[in-house]
Amino acid sequence: MQQDGGMEHEILDLAQDLAEIGRLVDDDDVASVLDRFVRRVVFSVPECEEASITVLTQDRPEIIARHHKTAAQVAEPSRAALAEQLSAPSGPLQETLLYGEPRRIGDLAADHRWPDFDAAAINAGYRSCVFLPLPAAGGTAAAFTLFSAKPDAFGATSYDIVLLFALHAGVAFDNISLYDNSTQLIEHLQSALQTRTVIGQAQGILMHRYGIGSEVAFDVLKRGSQDRNVKLRNLSLELVDAQHAGKLSAVLQQYGLSQ
């Protein structure tokens, strides 16, 4: 019963995050909200190691939110290679986005439909995955992707949970008043992609300077953002600009991140 109560608590927390998405208008922190969403899914769905949300922009998949359960620097190259395959113009994710149909691979080692994708996923440490279309209105193609290190991980029970999350994510897209048509949605998500790029650059600066992992670097950025009441994107952009201008030490000290 305690486990069921924990799951109920996770779902309630997820609902709060989705409600926050529905309230966004001109706020530029969509990327952070979507990041929290996929993080919640990774830690709520049994055996899930990675989750991502993707939209179709100019006939090519674009990953707008992605989270791994484990933070391992040695795995970053293989995960980057998998991201390239996910964004490739062919593969299971592309089919889900184009046709609005789910795709599930029970054992990547035994699948022969998408050999390049299968090889990249296995190299990243995964053995099964599932792709679900997000039921968003307005003609926008979006999909929800989950990976597991175990074959046939997404059975009947966990698959139902994934479907529940996918349905809520689709409703969230529909509830954002700014996104009254697919063009506006794409424009805002592209802005979110730019925000993620800046945050990723700032993470890289901290990782290189202090010899820390990506998760720790992100936590450091969040701490600086919260302590100084500055948006995460603005803080990240200031760090990136300071790095280019040779003034990084002063900016880190300004935000209490010098140690």
| Between residues 170 and 127, the one the model is more confident about | 127
CA separation for the pair 120, 64 (Å, rounded): 20
Q: Which residues of 134-148 are buried (b: 16+ CB within 10 A; e: fewer)?
A: bebeeebbbbbbbbb
The Cα–Cα gap between 96 and 92 comes to: 6
What does DSSP assign to residue 47?
T
CA neighbours within 13 Å on the CB side: how many for 82?
A: 24
Q: Are 183 and 57 a contacting pair, CB within 8 Å?
A: no
DSSP label of 253: H
Tell me the per-residue pLDDT of 114-140, one tens digit each, with 9 for 90 and over: 999 999 999 999 999 999 887 655 566
Percentage above 90 pLDDT, the chain? 24
**pTM to 2 decimal places:** 0.59
CB neighbour class for 229 (10 Å; exposed up to 12, middle 13-18, buried from 19): exposed
Establish how many alpha carbons lie within 13 A of residue 230's alpha carbon, considering only the half-sphere containing its beta carbon. Answer: 18
CB neighbours of residue 103 within 10 Å:
20
Domains of the chain: 2-178 (3.30.450.40), 194-254 (1.10.10.10)
By C-alpha distance, which of 17, 25, 19, 16 is closest to 179? Answer: 25
Per-residue pLDDT of 31-61, as tens digits, reads 666 777 788 888 878 889 999 988 887 778 8
To 10 degrees, what angle do helices 232-245 and 182-210 make? 50
